[in-house]
Structure 1
Amino acid sequence: MSQVTRRAAIFGGLSTLAACGGKFITYDGPQVTRVEVQKSARRMYLLHHDRVLKAYRVQLGFTAAGPKQFEGDGKTPEGRYHIDRRNPNSAFYLSIGIDYPNAADRAFAAAQGKKPGGDIFIHGWGDKRRGRSNDWTAGCIAVKNREMKTVYAMVQNGTPIDIYA
């Protein structure tokens, strides 16, 4: 490998690391023991027991009223769920998954002859500029990308999330 090629490879690798480095942060504060979402207030709280560590304005499913029941209804679920996965390569910047549907959600949808849907996440806005006043997701909970960076660092898999009407 020539000296020029080697330098180009090293520079390219360092550039890639620098670009990725800005997306992830570390958090060493109190553990987030629960996430709470108040749909009517468009607010999400990261809590350590009863103490609010962070509060965010959120955007929800494009049909915000009522709980998610069926695939494609555009609603955000309501009830107790858990964070169950992470996606560092999300089309919406970063995302953490919510374990919707649970057994009751699947049973209700099946009784209606429909599918419950799935792939519900807390995620960023992605690469589009969005106004704060409009709900636009397909049932997910969205925060600004810079806020999602903090949420991604603070909220661990297994954390309960309570979503209220």
Structure 2
Amino acid sequence: MLKRAAILLSVGLALALGLEFSQFLRVTPALAAQNEQATRILIEKGARQLTLERDGQVLARYAVALGSDPIGQKQGEGDGRTPEGVYAVDFKHPRSRYHLALRISYPDRQARETALRAGVSPGGDIMIHGIRNGLGWLAGLHRNRDWTDGCIAVTNAEIREIWSRVPYGTRVEIRP
């Protein structure tokens, strides 16, 4: 019995490690043709929707999950809120714990000043990302509730599409 438990534990650990480290074998999507690239990402928190636009024309729409306490402006680190405002994609993280991730430029100066006055950290590393590595099989089920720490989550297939259509510096507007 003990031997069987040890074997099962070993197999489970090997699978878990394999899933976590398999991200190093991931091939990042190539950037789409210029006319298919977004010039703006609009995130509407109330509608739980992310829209990719190019010069005012809708390229694609995606349903999203948000921070665990999404209503209102982010006040500080750990509050579970997704920030509101105008930002930009400032980093593309190909080895994220959440499949692929696009970091937005939060906190801006105003958020840092507000947090400083309140005596808290503004937080950071707000991303548009896929599902946690190893849980991609959840696909759209992740949208049944808001679960991130303040990020915007889509499926792994969707983040691959978004990644290919969003160059560095793309404007990100997050509305209530």
What is the TM-score normalised by the length of structure 1?
0.84
Partner of 1:150: 161
Which amino acid counterpart does residue 143 of structure 1 have in structure 2? V
Q: Secondary structure at the match of 2:87?
A: strand
CA contact (8 A) 1:58 1:142 kept: yes
* Pick aligned residue for 1:90 from 96, 114, 121: 96
Residues 43-89 of structure 1: CA deviation (Å, up to 9, x unaligned): 00000011100100000000011111101001000010110001000
Percent identity (aligned): 39
* Pick aligned residue for 2:59 from 31, 53, 67: 53
CA contact (8 A) 1:79 1:162 kept: yes
Q: State the Cα distance separating 1:31 from its structure 2 match.
A: 2.8
Matched, 1:139 2:150: yes
CA contact (8 A) 1:36 1:162 kept: yes
Once structures 1 and 2 are overlaid, which stretch shifts more, 152-161 or 28-37?
Answer: 28-37
Distance 2:71 2:31 in 1: 35
Q: Secondary structure at the match of 1:131?
A: helix
Which amino acid counterpart does residue 79 of structure 1 have in structure 2? G
Matched, 1:24 2:35: no
Distance 1:137 1:121 in 2: 10
Structure 2 gaps, min length 5: 1-21
For these two proteins, the number of residue pairs brought into alignment is 147
* Pick aligned residue for 1:40 from 39, 43, 46: 46
Matches within 5 A, 1:61-76: 61-76=67-82
Q: Secondary structure at the match of 2:173?
A: strand
Residues 124-155 of structure 1: CA deviation (Å, up to 9, x unaligned): 01222243221100000000000000111111
Q: State the Cα distance separating 1:25 from its structure 2 match.
A: 4.2
Which has the larger helix fraction?
Answer: 2
Partner of 1:102: 108
CA contact (8 A) 2:69 2:79 kept: yes
Matched, 1:123 2:159: no
What is the TM-score normalised by the length of structure 2?
0.79
CA contact (8 A) 2:31 2:163 kept: no
Structure 1 gaps, min length 5: 1-15
Q: State the Cα distance separating 1:27 from its structure 2 match.
A: 1.3
